[in-house]
Amino acid sequence: MKNRKLKNSELIRLDVESYRNAPKSNLIVILDNIRSLNNIGSVFRTSDAFLIKKIYLCGITAKPPHKDIHKTALGATENVIWEYVEDVMEVVRKLQNDNVFVAAVEQAENSIFLDDFTVNPEQTYAVVFGNEVKGVQQKVVSACDAVIEVPQFGTKHSLNIAVCAGVVLWSLFAQMKNSTNE
């Protein structure tokens, strides 16, 4: 049979304990004022796949456990490390003090297109995603070390935030993965 699909049991996946102990990618996610529980859960599921180091939940972003987060996270909230910190600025400052490079995902002056954003695999990055309607708050964007923009060419002003997080995290993760392999 050509291109036989793999059974779930044939996929190389970690159990929860191995996941906890596995080396993570140098990527941190900050979710600020995310309104949709589905979006939050979806970012957890994506973060599980790309071995995200930690997710910070800030502002109105809801915390697990919650059944509507679970519906899209499918259990990923059990693995991926997360912390709720109300004030996103506190997280940004703390991470910057720890030499983490903090980038807002936004459409802003001086933004860098995602495909032009080159990671240094030795560096830890945090990426901030903001509210579904208002985006990342201006004070956060201004405090960040860079702004990453996903170039978009259609009629809509933005991507769904869970899709956007997938695109950005994959892009940074793939670069880091390939740098380590080389």
**Does residue 133 belong to the site contacting its own copies (CB under 8 A)?**
no
Residue 109: exposure state from Cβ atoms within 10 A (0-12, 13-18, ≥19): exposed
d(CA 159, CA 99) in angstroms, rounded, equals: 29
Closest separation in Å from C-beta 151 to its own copies: 7
The region, left, alpha or beta by phi > 0 then psi within -120 to 50, assigned to residue 56 is beta
**Does residue 178 belong to the site contacting its own copies (CB under 8 A)?**
yes
**Does residue 13 belong to the site contacting its own copies (CB under 8 A)?**
yes
CA 8 from chain centre, in angstroms, equals 25
d(CA 110, CA 148) in angstroms, rounded, equals: 9
By CB under 8 A, name the one of 63, 75, 179, 180 that touches its own copies.
75
Positions in the binding site for its own copies (CB under 8 A): 1-6, 8, 11, 13-16, 19, 22, 38, 42, 45-51, 72, 74-76, 79-80, 104, 106-111, 114-115, 135-136, 138, 141-142, 144, 147, 150-157, 159-160, 162-167, 170-171, 174, 177-178
